Amino acid sequence: MRGLFLLVVLFASACTSSTVIRSSDPESRIYVNGEYMGTGEAFYSDEKVAFSRNKVEIRKDGCRSEYHSFRRNEEADVGAIVGGIFLTFPFLWVTEYKSSHNYDFQCQPNSNSSD
């Protein structure tokens, strides 16, 4: 019974991966996959399968938006690997995000001209 409990805990934790996204400009707004996550720094977590891609947009009023992306293939997930040995389908989550993603946001003024 104890082994089954451990297996369930490993499987449940193996599906979720998290990362912190930071912008060098503390006033910039961070969006992941079009959803607002925070200003300057944001926490992102999901249960997507390995190699899934996420789009990051950093915005600030008066500046051009910057676009970045990250994939769920940056680190191995030991829990999913162990769970996959016993159950096979946890192999879908064998990778995780890095613990943080840092982006240097340099405000490039919008090219909107007013006549």
**Within a domain: residue 113?**
no
**Within a domain: residue 110?**
no
Residue 8 has pLDDT above 90, yes or no: no
**Within a domain: residue 59?**
yes
**Within a domain: residue 57?**
yes
Distance CA 44, CA 35 (A): 11
Of residues 27 and 1, more confidence is placed in 27
Q: Around Cβ 42, how many Cβ atoms within 10 Å?
A: 20
Q: What is the pLDDT of residue 10?
A: 53
Query: For 16-50, what is each residue's pLDDT tens digit?
Result: 788 999 999 999 999 999 999 999 999 999 888 77
Residue 115 has pLDDT above 50, yes or no: no
**Within a domain: residue 106?**
no
Residues in the chain: 115
Q: What is the pLDDT of residue 100?
A: 87
Which region, left, alpha or beta, applies to residue 62 given φ > 0 means left and ψ of -120 to 50 means alpha? Answer: left
Confidence of residue 113 (pLDDT cuts 50, 70, 90): very low
Domain residue limits at 85: 2-100
**Within a domain: residue 109?**
no
**Within a domain: residue 115?**
no
Query: For 53-84, what is each residue's pLDDT tens digit?
Result: 999 999 999 999 999 999 877 665 666 566 65
Contact (CB, 8 A) for 28 and 60: yes
**Within a domain: residue 16?**
yes
Confidence of residue 4 (pLDDT cuts 50, 70, 90): low
Average pLDDT over every residue of 5-13:
57
Q: How many structural domains is the chain composed of?
A: 1
Contact (CB, 8 A) for 25 and 107: yes
